[in-house]
Amino acid sequence: MKRYRDIAGDGGSNIAGQVEAQQGRLRQRLETVRAVVAVVSGKGGVGKSALTANLACCFALDGWKVGVLDADLNGPTQAKVLGVRGRRLVLADGGVEPPRTELGVKVMSMDLLLPDDAAPLTWDAPVQDEAHTWRGAMEANAVREFLADTNWGALDALLLDLPPGIDRLATVASLVPTLAGIVVVTIPSEVSHLVVRKSITVAAHTKAPVLGLVENMAGLFHGPDASRLAADAGIPFLGSVPFDPALAVAADRGEAFMATTPWCESARALRRIADGIRAALSSRGATGLSPRGA
Ligand SMILES: Nc1ncnc2c1ncn2[C@@H]1O[C@H](COP(=O)(O)OP(=O)(O)OP(=O)(O)O)[C@@H](O)[C@H]1O
Ligand SMILES: [Mg+2]
């Protein structure tokens, strides 16, 4: 097996040149996107994807043009949650046309590329045993391609739904130097807070502002206080979303919870959080976005 030190330069493949070209396309593509916002946790299963999808719907209901990139390549769920599973991807104008939800949210996900339900994502490598060695680099490449080669068009906000793992944010932040903000998600448990605290540290090391912490599934456990976690970390607390089985059912059905039951407690909590994020983005002035109703 060849080792890194055996490879002279890039072995003649001009990988560095290809990455640079792709990064240039990415920069160009994101020029028409006012705010790229990453939804992260570090901890798995806390509701990052549900929050991302519902925030996207809130913004779309406000009249924003919104996109969602499912940056979870190995466990993609956004196509299902946003109700666009099985849609065909069409090539147009030098990019891939993302499917749109009924509310007009543009969605790109690895799920739209995988051939069937049971097929996991595998990476090509000369020897399968080596694939895990390259996984980080290949995942970063795939996210870069999704960002650069999707016809996002003009968007007010592009939300990135990150996979679990505290290292993932650093990768995305390096791919998108213009990241407008980071939203961190936890659930009320000490185990979650333990991991999320580390994620906040990673977030603070990026150049992007941390817009705040969201507590999801409130009431499910009697856990530690999320507003205290936010205060201790010196970041805003955006609010709590109660545990609500109806929210999970809507996600399973691919229905826009924020449009079908906007009056219920969890939807109202999500609405307040969306408004907080809008206000935080506009107060930072990076995007020219105005808070709702302004
Ligand atoms: N507030 C809530 N009340 C009830 N169910 C919820 C709530 N938030 C999320 N869920 C449900 O919990 C499950 C896990 O949520 P989700 O997939 O969004 O988590 P995640 O953090 O994205 O997970 P992963 O780390 O695997 O990406 C889903 O079935 C989702 O619909
Ligand atoms: Mg997820």
Centre of ligand 2 from the C-alpha of residue 217, in Å: 14
Q: How far out from the chain centre does Cα 232 lie?
A: 25
Report residue 108: phi and psi, to 5°.
-130, 130
143-187: per-residue pLDDT in tens? 999 999 999 999 999 999 999 998 889 999 999 989 999 999 999
> Quick check: is 109 in a domain?
yes
**What is the distance between the alpha carbons of residues 252 and 51, in angstroms, rounded to a whole number?**
14
> Quick check: is 58 in a domain?
yes
Q: What pLDDT was estimated at residue 284?
A: 78
Please report, for the chain, how many H helices and E strands are present, in that order.
10, 9
* Nearest atom (ligand 1) to Cα of 248: 31
Q: Which of 3-7, 11-15, 115-119, 191-195 has the highest mean pLDDT?
A: 191-195
106-108/155-161 β-pairing? unpaired
What is the extent of the structural domain holding 195?
17-283
111-135: per-residue pLDDT in tens? 998 767 766 666 666 566 666 666 7
Q: What pLDDT was estimated at residue 120?
A: 67
More confident residue, 82 or 20: 82
- For residue 48, the ligand closest to its alpha carbon is 1
Q: Tell me which DSSP letter residue 75 carries.
A: S
- DSSP state letters, 227-257: HHHHHHHT--EEEEEE--HHHHHHHHHT--H
Say if residues 251 and 220 touch (Cβ distance below 8 Å): no
**What is the distance between the alpha carbons of residues 71 and 179, in angstroms, rounded to a whole number?**
14
Q: How confident is the model at residue 12 (pLDDT cuts 50, 70, 90)?
A: low
- For residue 70, the ligand closest to its alpha carbon is 2
> Quick check: is 11 in a domain?
no
Report residue 237: phi and psi, to 5°.
-100, 120
90-92/95-97 β-pairing? antiparallel
Q: Tell me which DSSP letter residue 151 carries.
A: -
Q: What is the pTM of this model?
A: 0.91
197-244: per-residue pLDDT in tens? 999 999 999 999 999 999 999 999 889 999 999 999 999 999 999 999
Using CB distances shorter than 6 Å, the residues near ligand 1 are 41, 44-50, 72, 75, 77, 163-164, 216-217, 241, 243-245, 247-248, 251, 266
CATH (domain of 271): 3.40.50.300
> Quick check: is 289 in a domain?
no
> Quick check: is 88 in a domain?
yes
* Nearest atom (ligand 1) to Cα of 77: 17
> Structurally, how many domains does the chain consist of?
1
- The β-bridge partners of 90 are 97
Helices (H), the chain: 15-30, 48-61, 78-81, 128-149, 168-175, 190-205, 226-233, 245-253, 257-260, 265-283
